[in-house]
Structure 1
Amino acid sequence: MVNTGGTISFTQRPSIASAGVVVGPVEKVSPFAESFDEILTTEKEKNETYEQAASRFIEKACSIAVSKVHEKMDNIDLFIGGDLVNQMSPSSFAARKLAIPYFGVFSACASSMEATIIGCLLLETGNSKSILAGASSHHPTVERQFRYPLEYGAQKPKTAQWTVTAAAFALLQSNAKNAPYISHATMGRVVDGKQSNPLHMGAAMAPAARDTIERHLKNTNSKMSDYDLIMTGDLGKIGLSILKEMFQDENSGVILQDAGAQYYGDDQFFNAGASGPGCSASVFFSHIYSQLKKGTFKRVLLIATGALLSPLTYQQGETIPCIAHAIECRMEKKG
């Protein structure tokens, strides 16, 4: 393992052996829907509260990922996850049910890639063999915490994004057969673009995405055209447009894409697109993962972006510091 300027080169070929993605009922309209493992019919799914439902979604996604490789939960070394609810209680309560060692992580909507990078680092030591890593978000719980309860019916500007209900987790193993592996990862730096509008997150997060992409390309001696796809997570339509303007690379217009911008297609109801830790995680660990396994993509760079604000800091007039974590995935068929 070599660390250069925040970019890690992995030697043990940490692989995504399987993945589990569970989403809510609204997400059935997504162009990525056919790649999701399960689309639930309601946001509560027979639970008394939305927060309880958020925990159940996480448990379902983890169970799906483990079952795909015919493994038992007792044999998983670690569960690494995070979400947006106060003190990450859905993830912690899910860990209580899974009954395996647990790391709770928080990088807002970049939490899935933070969890994945930590998992890869632990696999490098050789002391762990199977690790569940990912993140989740749940629309009603997040809206109630960061904005307004759904019952309030608050109107949103065109710059706003829709929090995805999704739980997405990858089962990481070293040298898994016929599975995409993570060759490099770049850890994000906190970047403050001096934005203060919590309903215009794309503008706030774009500078952090640019910083991580530029460092990754420099540290790996790569250029955009070396990749089949460079996909950010939940910059949304406006944030992606801003990011593309930041790059002078002639390939950026085609290779640069964003999970949040595409998540709900062209439906204007969702304004600038999707957001939430479950947004990029559910796209990366379903559609992109399947395209890598098929060989359609051979080398991709996945960047999840997160806005590190809270309702309190917003009310105190703080700007919005952001972060972006990246993993580079490759696919090479093994015998």
Structure 2
Amino acid sequence: MLVGKQSWRFDNQPVIISTGTVGGPFEGNGAIPEAFDLLHDELWIGEKSFEKAQTILVEGAVTTALKKASVKKEDVNFLLAGDLVNQLTPSSFAGRSLAIPYLGMFGACSTSMEGLALGSFLINGSGAHHVVSVASSHNSATEKQFRYPTEYGGQKPPTAQWTATAAGAALVAKTGDGPRVTGATMGKVIDMGISDPFNMGGAMAPAAADTIETHFKEFHRGPDDYDLIVTGDLGQIGLPICRDLLKQKGYELGHDRFQDCGLMLYKEDQPVLAGASGPGCSAVVTYGHLLNKVKSGEIRRLLVVATGALLSPLSFQQKETIPCIAHAVVIESPKGGAL
């Protein structure tokens, strides 16, 4: 059901019946290693390129989610997948090997919730019985494309973030046991004129604030209606900016209820500068860490606001500013009822 202009309420409440999370060695040494179903001990993952290694991440996350739910890939109607590599190459090649009807998603680092929202929309409207949504990133593949190869050893400013080597998949079904997807708000493209590719948090913060404000208005809710609101990867720079922007709109979001996936993934002593980033960041933190709290009832209602910077190497070379987006999804616990 359409709510307002940009939101959906899922009256049939699609269920996340299982998830799959895969990470690399840096993530295994991070703050939430227990959130991963599978951790690789080297970035190449036995492949000849980082892009091929990222395909392995996607395949691993999807097959893990299917195995945990005892669902055959032949019973999945659609695979919604996205990443940061040119033309979604790792996702498309994973779609080739998985042989599930495939829809490529690109929302940069917002892809995790873009895919979950659209997959839930399909399930809610009886357009599918099973959907898998997966988002991935690979540190070395992303650095090589958007900035400099890691071998170059270029020094980054403190506003830069560390792209996660990770993939997170959610298997969404019409019925079953698990967290329920009850709503979503799709964001608008917001560009405040920032052109620095090393300040993604600052560039994305206005888009996150806009989506959160829109969500509150269209659902007639406020911060107190959620146990936790998390952004995707605003990091140390973008999160306080987003909090200040929302405060100007009359919404007070305290530190206990407003957090960021990019600040949860790694330890404070890891050299990630302003925090984590990448489509895989919000995917694995949500599906591997936060959903465990939702399942237990510790979090009854969760709002995940995945954030994305829609730049490309081409737009950067042409000295364009950075358009940004944020998509929000409401996930509720199967225990304890709604707030």
Same fold (TM over 0.5): yes
SS of the residue corresponding to residue 255 of structure 2 reads: helix
**How do 1:200-279 and structure 2 match up within 5 A?**
200-248=199-247, 249-267=251-269, 269-279=271-281
- Unaligned runs of at least 5 residues, structure 2: none
SS in 1 for 2:330: strand
Distance, in Å, in 2 between the alignment partners of 1:183 and 1:110 is 19
Other-structure match for 1:61: 61
8 Å CA contact 1:16, 1:170 repeated in 2: yes
How far apart are the structure 1 equivalents of 2:252 and 2:127? 43
The question of whether the paired residues in 2 share the 8 Å contact of 1:135 and 1:278 is answered with yes
Q: Which structure 2 residues correspond to residues 265-304 of structure 1 after superposition, within 5 A?
A: 265-267=267-269, 269-304=271-306
Q: Secondary structure at the match of 1:11?
A: coil
Q: Counterpart in 1 of 2:181?
A: 182
The CA distance in 1 between the partners of 2:33 and 2:285, in whole Å, is 9
Aligned partners of 1:250, 1:187: CA distance in 2, in Å? 22
Q: Which letter does structure 2 place at the counterpart of 1:14? A: P
Asked if the contact 2:230–2:259 (Cα under 8 Å) also holds between the matched residues in 1, the reply is: yes
Q: Which residue of 1 aligns with 2:313?
A: 311
Q: 1:268 to 1:39 in 2, by over 3 A?
A: closer
**What's the offset of the Cα at 1:285?**
0.6
Name 2:21's counterpart in structure 1.
Answer: 21
What amino acid sits opposite 1:29 in the alignment? N
Deviations 1:218-243 (A, max 9, x none): 11111101111000001011111111
In the alignment, the residues of structure 2 paired with residue 203 and residue 210 of structure 1 have an alpha-carbon distance, to the nearest angstrom, of 12
Distance 1:42 1:251 in 2: 39
- Give the total of aligned pairs: 333
Specify the code of the residue in structure 2 equivalent to 1:319: T
TM-score, normalisation: structure 1: 0.97
Matches of 1:228 and 1:200, distance apart in 2: 29
Q: Distance in 2 between matches of 1:287 and 1:125?
A: 28
Unaligned runs of 5+ residues in structure 1 are none
Q: Paired residue for 1:198?
A: 197
RMSD, aligned CA: 1.2
**SS in structure 1 at match of 2:15:** strand
Question: 1:59 and 1:65 mapped to 2: Cα distance?
Answer: 10
Counterpart in the other structure of 2:110: 110
Contact in 2 for aligned 1:304/1:326 (Cα 8 Å): yes
Distance 1:247 1:324 in 2: 14
